[in-house]
Amino acid sequence: MTLKIVISGFGTVGQGVAEVLERKQDFIKRRFHRQVRIVAAFDSRSLAHDDGGLDPELLLERKSSSGMVGDPRPSDMCRFLRETEFDVLVEVSPTNIETGGDGLLFIREALNKGAHVITVNKGPLALHFRELNDLAKKKKVQLRFEGAVGGAMPIINLCKENFMGERILTIQGILNGTCNFILSRMDKGLPFGQALKEAQELGYAESDPSYDIDGIDSASKVAILANAVFDRDVTFSDVSVTGITAITEDAIALAGDQNMVIRLIGEVSPDKLEVAPRLIPKGHPLSLSGTLNMAQINTDLAGPITISGRGAGRIETASAIFSDLVAILEAERQ
């Protein structure tokens, strides 16, 4: 039985997903005795569609040579999703943290027709989690989003599945690799502006870096963790946010004198929703340097568990999406 996939968004992550599906065909056949086929892939301008299945390599080639994944697309992609037969929507279009953007519409459309959804799109999850989660339950399909928080670091499934029997008390984490890179460089004496410039040159920060350095990205992840792990009903705007732009060289030096570093920490608990720079003792797990993401999960039985991994990257984020796909295949097998 073939599992039909639509990929909405064919940027870095969407392309990574196509590559991973190609690399893992054999594993899927061996483990689940099923075929996974991409029946459609689209970006903001173009669409490739073949009900018999598209060749991932050809999709990647076409995108790389022409900037488009297929032919010019219809403007109403919701209608396309409504009229096309598929089992799983992989929603990885650009995020919009103010409205949820097109991704929100695509996710709603897919869930409504009874398809599973895997997404790393933070806007829809940080703004409309409860609605989307309830819709998925009602339609008896899965809404999965492991890659939306921490990239390859499996924090969502760790909390919801491995620690299903634990009461999770708090999660504290470094949820944005760009900010952590900048703060790590400032530890070495660089002023903020120079550290930011370095991050931009290395491709860690966007030319408009405000989404990262103002703490917005971290805050949307905090909102998602609150909804998904603590069963709260919050949106992005409920999070108390302070970014890293006001951190001075003096503050970093003073922290260093006390054997501390400054890190941008997101914290979620049943009654807390915060992103703020904090003093962290050197040697503490949250004093991590570099671009990794890291989280410390405090539970009633297991005590503190920390996990870290690459928070971004084409194949790393696709790996989180693939783990969600494997979970869907595993559940359908039973």
Does the active-site annotation cover 221? yes
| Single residue of 154, 177, 243, 266 touching its own copies by CB under 8 A | 154
Letters for 262-281 (x = contact with its own copies by CB under 8 A, - = none) are --------------------
Instruction: Please tell me the number of Cα atoms within 13 Å of 101 on its side-chain side.
Output: 17
Residue 74 to residue 51: CA distance in whole angstroms: 17
326 part of the interface to its own copies, by CB under 8 A: yes
Determine the size of the site formed for its own copies (CB under 8 A). Answer: 42
Which two structure tokens, joined as six digits, stand for 90? 């992989």
Catalytic residue among 188, 221, 272, 282: 221
Which two structure tokens, joined as six digits, stand for 50? 């073949």
Cβ proximity of 101 and 95 under 8 Å: yes
For residue 117, what are the contacts with CB-CB under 8 A and spacing of at least 6? Answer: 88, 89, 91, 107, 110, 111, 132, 136, 141, 142, 143, 144
256 part of the interface to its own copies, by CB under 8 A: no
231 part of the interface to its own copies, by CB under 8 A: no
Of 43-51, 91-99, 221-229, 324-332, the window that binds its own copies (rule: CB under 8 A) is 324-332
Indicate the residue among 223 and 261 with the shorter CB distance to its own copies. 261
Indicate the residue among 115 and 328 with the shorter CB distance to its own copies. 328
Closest CA to 144 of 230, 228, 218: 228
Phi, psi of 269 (to 5 degrees): -150, 180
| Single residue of 84, 157, 194, 242 touching its own copies by CB under 8 A | 157
- Shortest distance (Å) from residue 78 CB to its own copies: 30
DSSP state letters, 59-109: HHHHHHHHS-SSEEPPS-HHHHHHHS--SEEEE-SPP-TTT-HHHHHHHHH
Site for its own copies in 282-311 (CB under 8 A): 283, 285, 289, 299, 301-310
Residue 156: C-alpha distances to residues 237, 259, 297 (Å) = 21, 32, 11
31 part of the interface to its own copies, by CB under 8 A: yes
Q: At what angle are helices 122-138 and 101-112 packed, to 10 degrees?
A: 10
| Single residue of 61, 85, 161, 206 touching its own copies by CB under 8 A | 161
Indicate the residue among 78 and 315 with the shorter CB distance to its own copies. 315
187 part of the interface to its own copies, by CB under 8 A: no
Give the footprint of its own copies on this chain (CB under 8 A).
20, 24, 27, 31, 152-154, 157-158, 161-166, 283, 285, 289, 299, 301-310, 313, 315-316, 318-320, 322-323, 325-326, 330-331, 334
Residue numbers annotated as active site: 221
